[in-house]
Structure formats: C-alpha cells, structure tokens
Amino acid sequence: NRIETTSKQYAVFACSISAPVAAYCFYTPIITFAWRRLGYQAIVIFVGDFKALNGTQPDHIRLAVEWITRFGGIVHYFQCDEAYAIKISQTIRVFAGFLPLPFINDDDFLLTTDSDLLPLRREQYMLRKDYPDGFIVNRWCCGTFKMRNKTYHMFPMGHLHIKRKVWRAMVLESTV
C-alpha cells in the first residue's frame, strides 16, 4: 500500500534562539538524524535576532548547527525581533514553500514538523497508493472553527507532507 517517491523529501522545522528553554535547540540535531534515517533531509530554521549577537553564536546554537550539518541537515537563519522569535518559529513552516532555498524543486516534498517530534516508523511517513501527492499525519485530531459564516477543519502542523508547489498554492489561494 506504501509507495516510494522519486522526488526529494525535506523535513522542515524551526527553533527560536530566544526560547527560555534551550532544549528545543538541543533536540534539533537528534531530530535531523531521525529524519535522515527515514529518507528525509532536514531543513532547520533558526529564528531570532541574530543582529543583536554581533556576529557571534551562543554555544548551544553553534553546537546544534555543527551536528545538524554533520547529519546532513541544512541550516537556514531567519532574522526577526526577539519578541517575535517564538511565534515566528511556530508559524514559519506554513510558508515553507516560499523559503529562498534554490535547491528545492516544485515537485519536491516538504514535510512540516516540530523540533521536539521524533519520527520513529518509516511507514507512517511514506506516500500511499491512495494518496500519492501527500498526507497529513493525525489529520482528524483538531476539530473545526467558524469564520465568515463558513466552517473549516483545523489540521495539525506537526506533519503535513505535500509538494512545494502545493504549499505555495494553498497559501496564495486561501480565502481564510
């Protein structure tokens, strides 16, 4: 029932460098390695006020970046005011299809995840014959909400796996 894809697969997750709990940054190399085991290349986005660091990196960020790269992951930095870093690190993955990453093609798959969600079973993250264009893990978990007299189903942002071009179309064509 599961199928292999010929497109590249990327797991995209973010971490605030300003979070009061450094554990999220600590997890990033471990999660990078876990996704590599499942056939995904990790794209880790560090979010925060890098200008305030004056060209330096805190030791925990430097160490995380070193191991992410050793494990084949890609690091991307997103500059923002420290006050918004945590919120942006949680929402930036919605815009994964728009990130300036020239090595990603439109037909490559982007999977959103969290820096503290450890993927264990490869089968759970493979395409299926009946859903060859993507999937949402645990898609019925979140209920609905109403807006402008319409009811919408909420989806978890933990594991959405769709092509880059579909990500962009979803965001650009959304009427919410």
Instruction: For residue range 85-104, list pLDDT tens digits in order.
Output: 999 998 898 888 898 889 99
- In the structure encoding, which two tokens stand for residue 110, read together? 């982007």
Please name which of 125, 126, 96, 128 lies closest in space to residue 110, comparing C-alpha atoms: 96
Provide the β-strand partners of residue 136: 160
Q: Which domain holds residue 35?
A: 2-173
For residue 60, CA distances in Å to 25, 48, 68, 118 come to 7, 14, 12, 20
Of 65-69, 71-75, 144-148, the least confident: 144-148
The domain tally of the chain equals 1
pLDDT at 39 over 70: yes
Give the whole-angstrom CA distance, residue 107 versus residue 7. 6
Give the whole-angstrom CA distance, residue 42 versus residue 12. 6
Burial of 176 (0-12, 13-18, 19+ CB in 10 A): exposed
CATH of the domain at 36: 3.90.550
Confidence tier at 1 by pLDDT (50, 70, 90): confident
Give the whole-angstrom CA distance, residue 100 versus residue 109. 15
Contact 12, 92 (CB under 8 A): no
Confidence tier at 158 by pLDDT (50, 70, 90): low
Of 32-41, 46-55, 120-129, the least confident: 120-129
Give the whole-angstrom CA distance, residue 175 versus residue 169. 12
More confident residue, 34 or 170: 34
pLDDT of residue 2: 67
pLDDT digits (tens, 9 = 90+) for 103-134: 999 999 999 998 888 888 888 778 777 766 77
